[in-house]
Structure 1
């Protein structure tokens, strides 16, 4: 499973919230993130930020694409061939 480092994104959001003079909360952080981050990761990051003004390294799982374009094309071509053969068989009856 591939992961994506979201540490910089979290740091950017926390710095932005603090620069506005607001107290960072889980809700504010989650609302401003451009990528989905699980709640436990946000909570851990927020606790670390409040105690040491530091963002720990955070990685989240990257959703995998179902199939590559080439695989999808190959599957569709096979499906077209199967349907064409079936249609020809039905037409012969």
Structure 2
């Protein structure tokens, strides 16, 4: 996670028109990071800031597919919904008459 945070901070600084430095990033980190890792990630970011940012952020941004429901589960869900609609219809008709 620390690489993601380093890249996020570097991108934020760059968006503000600042050149990210190790000191600026280290001051904004939420958790301690080994200096070697900070230097490595910042060096990679400086070589390809846009590519690094996209490759690091994209996996988190991809939504996970919802689990597929079986036909049986869908039929049960439909039956529950139909029961609720029937109850609501009955309540509506009772209020309308009374």
Q: What stretches of structure 1 of length at least 5 have no aligned partner?
A: 58-93
Cα drift, residue 11 of structure 1: 1.9
Structure that is richer in helix per residue: 2
Moved beyond 3 Å, runs of 4+: none
Q: Which of the numbers 36, 41, 50 marks the counterpart of 1:40?
A: 36
CA distance in 1, matches of 2:26, 2:37: 11
Shift of 1:7: 2.4
The CA distance in 2 between the partners of 1:7 and 1:44, in whole Å, is 9
Written as runs of structure 1 = structure 2, the 5 A alignment for 1:76-91 is: none
- Once the two structures are superposed, residues 16-40 of structure 1 have per-residue CA deviations (whole angstroms, 9 ceiling, x without a partner) of 1111100010000100101110111
Displacement of 1:8: 2.1
State how far apart, in whole Å, the 1-side matches of 2:48 and 2:5 are.
18
Residue 12 of structure 1 and its aligned partner are, at CA, apart by 1.4
Gapped regions of structure 2 (runs ≥ 5): 57-98
CA distance in 2, matches of 1:44, 1:7: 9
Distance in structure 2 (CA, Å) of the matches to 1:25 and 1:7: 15
| Aligned counterparts of 1:32 and 1:44: Cα–Cα separation in 2 | 17
Instruction: Find out whether 1:30 has 2:33 as its counterpart.
Output: no
Paired positions, count? 53
Contact 2:22 2:42 survives alignment (8 Å): yes
